[in-house]
């Protein structure tokens, strides 16, 4: 029993580089899942399934019948709240593992990686802040601006930190396996040299990332303006919509589509540049994944719009946007972290026939 318990706690309290990789991956996946389930809450009009916070209703801490909401709505909203507990646990354990690994490195005489500690610290802090904002969203009856902040905090801060943490851990793991192995102790310094991707392509990848973030923000405005913002029952028992943005749905949808076409053009240019510039294979593959994902996303976007925004298809659109954001970030990071070995000047060695006696 003691041996089993020791093996269970070792990845946290005696972490290896491989364990750090696992924690970073778990943080990234869990945050993506919570974002997708949060979208399901909104698109199923379950945002007020639990009209109180932190309890579900004023008389029940768990899912229960509430005025104007079905029990299914209550359980959808309450289920999304329950997911925050494992999310907080994963985020907290990830931070502990990275902090203790950093201390191991310092104790072994290495410089450590304080950047990884700070990135991992963002996860539990961000998740707790997200829970508070989620409660404010419920108490303000799904204010559309706060709903947008709620979504963007998850994607732009928490998920981004998890992706960057995972990417740096992968690079650290490769460096460790190439050098000192996967044992606790100082990791070898990664090889440096010429950047693996040209500077113009790195700038293009950065622009693609920035515009993708802009498109995510525009998407929250479209949802907050459209018919899927949610409904509630007023004091007279009448069904009414929750507060929305007072924009033209056609106008904000067109803006969202225009940004999408611009992103597509950036992705095509980037993939072509990577393909014919000798970029690393992984970077080229990521470019193709992003390009295909954007094409599929565009098709789904137009189909859902011309079919009057069916909730199920809109959820697929939102979930795919989360995946695209993850791969866009990975694509950008792959253009900035990889390095080619420095060129070693060649030395001419004279042949024996050319050597003459003094």
- Cα separation values, 206 from 132, 219, 258, 336, Å: 31, 20, 19, 10
| pLDDT for the residue numbered 188 | 47
Alpha carbons 68 and 76: distance in angstroms, whole number: 15
Give the mean pLDDT of the chain: 82
Type and span of the H or E element at 105: helix 84-107
When mean pLDDT is compared across 17-21, 265-269, 327-331, the lowest value belongs to 17-21
The percent of residues above 90 in pLDDT, for the chain, comes to: 41
The percent of residues above 70 in pLDDT, for the chain, comes to: 82
When mean pLDDT is compared across 138-152, 189-203, 310-324, the lowest value belongs to 189-203
SS3 of the chain: helix, strand, coil, percent, to 5: 70, 5, 25
More confident residue, 178 or 87: 87
Per-residue pLDDT tens digits for 227-236: 776 655 555 4
Q: How confident is the model at residue 171 (pLDDT cuts 50, 70, 90)?
A: confident
- Cα separation values, 158 from 24, 100, 119, 344, Å: 12, 21, 9, 41
Alpha carbons 310 and 313: distance in angstroms, whole number: 6
Please say if the pLDDT value at position 190 is more than 50.
Answer: no
Q: How confident is the model at residue 177 (pLDDT cuts 50, 70, 90)?
A: low
- Cα separation values, 102 from 42, 105, 124, 243, Å: 40, 5, 18, 47
Over residues 327-338, the mean pLDDT reads: 88
How many CB atoms within 10 Å of residue 127?
23
Closest residue by Cα to residue 282 from 203, 335, 212:
335
CA 281-282-286 angle, 5° bins: 115
């Amino acid at each position: 029993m003691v041996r089993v318990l020791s093996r269970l706690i070792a990845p946290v309290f005696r972490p290896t580089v491989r364990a750090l990789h696992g924690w970073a991956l778990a943080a990234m996946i869990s945050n993506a899942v919570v974002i997708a389930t949060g979208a399901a809450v909104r698109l199923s009009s379950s945002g007020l399934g639990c009209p109180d916070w932190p309890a579900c209703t004023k008389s029940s801490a768990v899912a229960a019948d509430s005025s104007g909401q079905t029990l299914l709505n209550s359980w959808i909203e309450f289920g999304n709240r329950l997911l925050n507990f494992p999310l907080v646990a994963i985020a907290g354990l990830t931070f502990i593992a990275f902090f203790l690994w950093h201390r191991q490195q310092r104790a072994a005489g290495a410089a450590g990686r304080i950047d990884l500690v700070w990135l991992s610290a963002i996860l539990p802090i961000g998740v707790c802040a997200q829970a508070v904002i989620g409660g404010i969203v419920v108490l303000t009856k799904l204010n559309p601006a706060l709903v947008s902040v709620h979504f963007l905090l998850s994607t732009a801060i928490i998920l981004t930190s998890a992706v960057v943490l995972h990417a740096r851990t992968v690079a650290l793991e490769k460096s460790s396996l190439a050098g000192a192995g996967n044992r606790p102790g100082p990791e070898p310094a990664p090889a440096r040299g010429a950047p693996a991707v040209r500077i113009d392509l790195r700038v293009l990848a950065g622009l693609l990332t920035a515009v993708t973030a802009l498109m995510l923000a525009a998407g929250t405005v479209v949802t907050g303006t459209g018919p899927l913002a949610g409904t509630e029952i007023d004091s007279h028992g009448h069904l009414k919509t929750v507060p929305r943005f007072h924009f033209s749905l056609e106008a904000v949808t067109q803006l969202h589509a225009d940004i999408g076409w611009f992103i597509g053009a950036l992705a095509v240019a980037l993939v072509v540049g990577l393909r014919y510039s000798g970029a690393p294979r992984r970077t080229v593959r990521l470019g193709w994944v992003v390009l295909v994902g954007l094409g599929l996303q565009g098709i789904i976007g137009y189909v859902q719009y011309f079919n009057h925004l069916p909730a199920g298809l809109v959820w697929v659109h939102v979930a795919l946007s989360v995946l695209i954001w993850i791969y866009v970030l990975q694509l950008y990071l792959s253009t900035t972290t990889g390095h080619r070995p420095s060129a070693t000047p060649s030395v001419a060695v004279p042949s024996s026939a050319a050597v003459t006696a003094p």
